[in-house]
Each structure stands twice: as C-alpha cells, then as structure tokens.
Amino acid sequence: MREDAAVRTEAVEQRIQKLGFVLRSTMPRTVEPLNFEAQKERVPFLDLGDDAVPAPVPTWSDFAPRTGRLRRLLTKEAHRQAAQATAEQAYTNALARYREQEAARLARIEERSRAHHEASGADRRRVLAHNAGVDRFRDRVLTGDPEAVSDYYARVFAPFAARPAGFPRGHRFGYVPESRLLLVEWRLPGIGVVPREREYRYNPATKSVGVHRWRSISEVRKVYGSVCAQLAIRTVHVALYADPDGLVQTVVFNGVVAPDNEGDGGRDPGQAKEGAGNRKEPVCLISMSASRRQFARLSPADLDDPLGELRSRFGARVSAFPDELTAVSPVLPYALADPHLVVAVSGKGPNLLAAPPEEFDRLMERLLERMGYQLTPLPQAPGSYLARRTTGGRAEQAVVHLRRRGGTLDTAEVRALGTAVRRQHAAEGLLLTTAGLEPQAYDYAHGRPLRLYAGRSLLALCRCHGLPARMDPPTAASAPGPVANGTAGPAAGSNGAGPGSSHPADRTRRRPTGHAHPSSTSRPTGPS
C-alpha cells in the first residue's frame, strides 16, 4: 500500500511536468500553408495491363540478310537475290502481323475505355466537381473572403484541435480583411486539468491510501495560466506561419472555457454548478493580440515563463481567478468577427460608405445609445463624443471617435484617441471606423483601455445591436468626398440642399429617436 501511495504521488507530479511542456510537446517542427493541389482527388485510373504498351515495330535490320565483302565473294549472285527476296517477304509478313495486332490492341483499349468511362462516370463527375471546388476555395482564400479564410484556418488547425490528448475541441475562427486580422476563439480545458493533489500517503488506521497534502490554489492558478499561455503562443505561431499569401498581419487569441466544463478547480461543486447555471456563453479567461512584427521577436522554443512573456510583450489579459470563472474583456469578441453574421446582413441596411454624413452620424449615435451611452459632442473635435453610461450601479465615461473612410486608417488616429482618453480622464476609448487598421494600431492599443471597431467589426457591432448595415464601395457618381474630420462630406457638385447636405438648419430638424441623447442644438454644425 505504501508503494501505491508513492506511485500516485509520482503520477500527479508527472502530470504537472507535462503541463509545463505543452508548448514544446505539441508545437509542430514546421508549419506551412495548406497545399491546395494535395487536396485534389485523382480521376479513376484505367489499368490496361499488357495493352498499355504497344509491341515493338518490326525493323528491316532484324530481317536483312548478312552482307559483307567476303560473303559477296563466296556467294553467288542468285543465292544473294533469293536471300534478299526471302528477307523482304519475312519483313512484309511481320509488318502485316504487327498492324493486325496493333489494330486489335487499339480496339481492345477503346472498348475497355468505353466500359470504364460508363462504369466510372459518376466517380469522374464527382472528382471533377471536387477539384473545381478546391480551385474555387483557393481563389476565395487568396482574395481574402472572410468565410473562406476562416474555413481555411479551421483546416489548418484540425491536426492540433485536441492536442494534448483530452483537451477540448470546438475552436472558432473569424477574419477581418480590412485590418488583415485573424481572430481565434480557442476552447481551453477547465482548471481541473491541473491536479489539486500534491502527495498521497498510506493511513495505517484506515488501511487505505489518501491525499496527505493538497496543492495550494495559487499554485493551481499559476500552472493553469501557464497552460493557457502555451496554447496561445502555439496558436499565434501556427496562424502566422500558415498564412498562404500575406492575409494575416495581426492575430487575436481569445481563450474560452465552457461554463459547464468539468474541473472547476478548487470551487465547491455546488457553487460551480450554481455559477455556471446562469451562463450560456463561453467564459473568456485569456485574451491577447499579436502582430507579425511583434511575434517575430519571440522565440517559442526558449520560454521559461510563457505567461509572463505574454503579459509583458503583448499586454495579455488573463483571469486572476480562473477557478471562479472570472472573465476578462476580450480584445475583440468573436461576435464582431464572425464571418457568418457579417455576411448575413451584408445586403441590408444603409451603406456606411456612401450614406450622407447626417445619416451616418445618426446611425452611429443610435448604435451608441443602444449600447447604453448618453452622448455629448466634444467642442472643436468633429466626430468626437463624450459618452456616459451606468453599469452595475457605477457610472462610466468614455471617449468616442467616429471615422468614416475607406482603405486603412492611420495609426495616428488611435494615438489621438488614447490622448483624448487621458485628457478627458475617461475610463476607455471607442473608435468606430469603416476603414481597416494597421497592425501598429493594435500594437499601440495593447494594455490600453481602447476598443477598436474597424471595418466588418463595426458592421457586426451594428448587427448585434439590431442595426443592419453594409459597406459597399460607392460609385463614382455618388461617392462622398472626404472632409477634415475623417467622415464623408456631400457628393461633388451638391448644392447642400439634398439629403447629403450638412447644413446646420437641416441638422437641427432631426427627428428624436426616443433614446437619451443630447439635444440637436448642442451638436456641432459641421459634419461629424
């Protein structure tokens, strides 16, 4: 029995050691983009057997009589002519037999090919359709289609989905093409993956083996945090190196755990069920973003403290109490990068890129009001608001910048938002823009209270709050021109009296929305 106690103690120590080597044991040696050609199937092959190779064609050299100076001297002319005639006849007969055999062989091939084509017609059509689908999928991936890129990375990560063995599956991927950003929502194991037992001993009184010492909850949290960090590093590494054509410059990793996941660590089982009963969505326990340039400075093979590296290098947000399912705010929620959600509403609602400035401003104000904010325009800062709301009995204040542009927004806009947050002593800053963001923008936002909603993320945010919208490039005739505050002004040639007018008199005649917001007279007179 004492030996059994020692064996159990050694087993839990080995489990702890294995958890410290999750990254090294599961990191692939080489990561390459998917080979689309290797995913294609081959058309069913027809085995022709001996008929696959034609018989050799008879040649005159095989039948010609021997000649030479000595033979001509020793052989009569009549004999030489008879031998020549015999050889010619044999050669002619051989050619005739060859032609007959070759014609028969070709006839057999044609018959077998016809039979094979009829028998394998369905398989052939299936293979050709499959290969055409692979080509279409490749083209969609290389053009940055969000659904295709998300599906591509689901295939890339399929071999790593449940490694180490026993870890959960069900990972999700989202792609924001405007910012070349890939979001990975990775299902984490519960904290029960870390054994609480530290030492077993034999109890002579009960003649049984039991736990003599338990692992402290602080140590359990530390080991669990290291496991989550290792999974995050592996995920970012694979995502960047499997990029097929420079599609991804920033990777956002959200590590989530199901509320009903087994193994809630040190919590009482009744408390675990009670806490999970009120939750339906996965709980985010770790969230980080890393640009390609940032991650290139990291050496995944030589990390002594993975969690510390993520916090210091990437400003990772990590739950301090994962055993209590205390969530952290994700850098970018999956709902704002879900390709299926964005595609579902892409054909509905106003066009954010071509709508008149007044309509764009009104839609963004309605969005913020549905998020619970009361807005006050900031003076001398078109397109900027001071937003207030009450959450959990506590008042919050945020700075909001609206920027309507195409292409990519300069990182200076994100820096300006951070400066405005400090100047207004706000809790956070929100950037709502139709443009994409550079990787440096996400680098700057690391560790700062800035929430960036760019491109399709803005569309998804509108959809989540019941405001369908779309972003179709405007035509040349209706394309609004840019103005100083970054939003779009009236179309060229407009007299300002149409629906795209930003005249102050038109802006003061807005219909009330029924939500709490500043009066129309307090709005800036210019477009925002």
**Residue 349 region, left (φ>0) first, then alpha (ψ -120 to 50), else beta?**
left
Domain spans of the chain? 2-27+134-330, 66-127, 345-522
Between residues 118 and 196, which one has the greater pLDDT? Answer: 196
Average pLDDT over residues 434-450: 84
How far is CA 158 from each of CA 154, 268, 285, rounded to the nearest angstrom?
Answer: 6, 35, 22
Q: What is the pLDDT of residue 459?
A: 86
Check residue 508 and give its pLDDT: 35
C-beta of residue 214 within 8 angstroms of C-beta of residue 12: no
Within 8 A by CB and 6+ apart from 416, the residues are: 401
Over range 360-366, report the average pLDDT.
91
Listed residue (183, 112, 110) closest to 149, CA to CA: 183
For 56-76, what is the mean pLDDT? 75
Task: Give the number of other Cβ atoms within 10 Å of residue 505's Cβ.
Answer: 10
Distance between CA 71 and CA 58 in Å, rounded?
25
List the CATH code of the domain at 345-522: 3.40.1350.10
The mean predicted confidence, pLDDT, of the chain is 81
* Residue 297 pLDDT greater than 50, yes or no: yes
- Identify the band that residue 69 occupies on the pLDDT scale cut at 50, 70 and 90: low
Q: Which of 77-86, 96-105, 507-516 is predicted most confidently?
A: 96-105
Q: What is the pLDDT of residues 8-28, one digit of tens each?
A: 889 989 999 999 888 888 887
Does residue 440 register a pLDDT over 90? Answer: no
- Nearest-angstrom CA–CA distance, 245 and 270: 50
pLDDT tens column, 303-345: 889 999 999 888 899 999 999 999 998 888 898 888 887 655 5
The model's confidence at residue 272, banded by pLDDT at 50, 70 and 90, is very low
User: Quick one: which H or E segment has residue 450?
Assistant: strand 450-454
Residue 456 banded pLDDT, cuts 50, 70, 90: confident
Q: Coil, strand or helix: which one is 6? A: helix
Q: For the ranges 192-206, 219-233, 278-292, 384-398, which has the lowest average pLDDT?
A: 278-292
What gap in Å lies between CA 401 and CA 118, rounded to an integer?
66
The verdict on pTM exceeding 0.85 is no
Predicted local confidence at residue 482, as pLDDT: 46
**% of the chain beyond a pLDDT of 70:** 82
Average pLDDT over residues 124-144: 93
